[in-house]
């Protein structure tokens, strides 16, 4: 009998390259997980096409589909639940989650951040703004952090990190490219550790 796979729900907003890295790892047997649903707040996002090509159910849920924040929060939480999501993965999701989703999946929502938290996190710290801040601060290393999501931006417990050297002459775009490459590696690896039990999210939530 095949081992039970980790059931994942993914929230994303744009291109979905981290989503693709998780799909690829699962297809190639490096990740014992199944993406049960992809939720996107952007109906034209390339991430939706990536999911559709794999036969993964997709849902567009945003301020255009739901008039109020509470209604949208309920819809996101219900969709994740209906598709049997055990762990929720934010993969470039650009909206803050509401209290219903945070409460229902407390300790089981993950996000990837393109810096070594707790440095260079918080509201407004996303995309090239993070890499500009790293370079402006004269840091010699940056990297990738995967953390448990709570009600504050980039605040929950960090469960995995990987360093990326800052090179002489780096532009924000240069650094972003190398950091993203490590995001694509670290996210599936971390999810596999959760799937195998090496990382216990319940224990982390209780600590």
Question: How far is residue 147's CA from residue 69's CA, in Å, rounded to a whole number?
Answer: 24
Catalytic position from the list 14, 66, 83, 113: 113
Instruction: Write phi, then psi, for 77 (nearest 5 degrees).
Output: -60, -45
Closest to 111 (Cα-Cα) out of 44, 74, 160: 160
Annotated active-site residue 113? The verdict is yes
Q: Which residues are catalytic?
A: 113
């Amino acid at each position: 009998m095949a081992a039970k796979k980790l059931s994942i729900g993914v929230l994303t907003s744009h291109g979905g390259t981290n989503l693709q890295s998780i799909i690829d790892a699962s297809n190639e047997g490096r990740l014992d997980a199944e993406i049960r649903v992809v939720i996107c707040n952007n109906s034209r996002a390339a991430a939706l096409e990536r999911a559709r090509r794999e036969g993964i159910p997709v849902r567009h849920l945003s301020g255009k589909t739901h008039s109020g924040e509470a209604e949208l929060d309920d819809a996101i939480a219900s969709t994740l639940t209906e598709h049997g999501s055990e762990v929720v993965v934010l993969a470039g999701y650009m909206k803050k989650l509401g209290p219903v989703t945070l409460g229902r999946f407390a300790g089981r929502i993950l996000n990837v951040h393109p810096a070594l938290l707790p440095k260079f996190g918080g509201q407004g710290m996303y995309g090239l703004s993070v890499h500009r801040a790293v370079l402006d601060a004269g840091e010699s290393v940056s990297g990738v952090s995967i953390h448990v999501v709570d009600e504050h931006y980039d605040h929950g417990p960090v469960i995995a990190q990987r360093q990326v050297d800052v090179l002489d002459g780096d532009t924000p775009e240069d650094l972003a490219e190398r950091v993203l490459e490590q995001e694509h590696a670290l996210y599936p690896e971390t999810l596999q550790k959760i799937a195998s039990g090496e990382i216990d999210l319940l224990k982390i939530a209780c600590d």
